[in-house]
Amino acid sequence: MTTETEAPNATEVPAGRWNVDPVHSVVAFSVRHMMVGTFRGEFSEIEGTLTDGKLVGRVQVGSLQVKDENLKGHLFSPDFFDLERYPEIVYESSSLTVYDGVLTSTGTLTLKGIHTPVTATGRLAGPAVALGEVSKIGLDLETTVDREAIGLGWNAPLPKGGFGLGSTVTISVTLELALDDED
């Protein structure tokens, strides 16, 4: 029995159907704010599956956690996510591989009806046997995309030059998935 607290990285993407545990997973983004800071947002309603090497994830835009109601309202408005028309963000991988310890996912991000090809990298940990004899894996992915290209290009010029928001946004996904063995 191991005494480690962390499972080693996987050398290949496991077969089978794996379901995202939404409580122990995070889908978040960050963007440069006022040229110096970092604004982070996180969606609380997420779901996803990894089925025989294909990763599909869905995020409810309305579950975005923001500390200020006015800012949240603006982020939900047509200037940004346009919640009324596009309540869901979807990611679907076309390829998911592990090579030399690095997990790489290429796929399509669909946001505001715009399909954007993205490549994200990270790590795949496990499988490990968790409580209840459940097999689990951990999957971390990160990518950077052009805000304007994904339909979130709003910005505010600053009085002495520059802009209030960075031109790129970093999307970070940290997923814990459990093997679905109920077939």
Partner 1 sequence: MRVLGIIGSLRAESHNRRLLRAAAGQLPPDTELVIFEGLKSVEPFDERDEHENGGGMPGVDTLFAAIRSADAILFVTPEYNGSIPGVLKNAVDWASRPTSATSPLANKPVAVIGASTGSFGAVWAQAELRKALGLAGARVLDHELAIPTAHEAFADDGRLARAAARRRLGEILEHVVAEAHGGPSAPDVRSSHAP
C-alpha span between 70 and 67 (Å, rounded)? 9
- Least separation in angstroms between residue 39's CB and partner 1 is 17
> Of all helices (H) and strands (E), which one includes residue 73?
helix 69-76
In the complex, minimum distance from the CB of residue 151 to partner 1, in angstroms, rounded to a whole number:
12
Query: Which CB atom, from 82 or from 176, has the smaller least distance to partner 1?
Result: 82
User: For strand 114-130 and strand 102-111, is the pairing parallel, antiparallel, or unpaired?
Assistant: antiparallel
Taking the C-alpha atoms of residue 61 and residue 46, their distance in angstroms, rounded to an integer, is: 9
d(CA 66, CA 148): 21
5 near partner 1, rule: CB under 8 A: no
| Residues 104-143: x where in contact with partner 1 by CB under 8 A, - otherwise, as a string | ----------------------------------------
**Span interacting with partner 1, options 7-15, 69-77, 100-108, 118-126, rule CB under 8 A:** 69-77
Tokens representing 8? 């080693």
Binding residues for partner 1, total number by CB under 8 A: 13
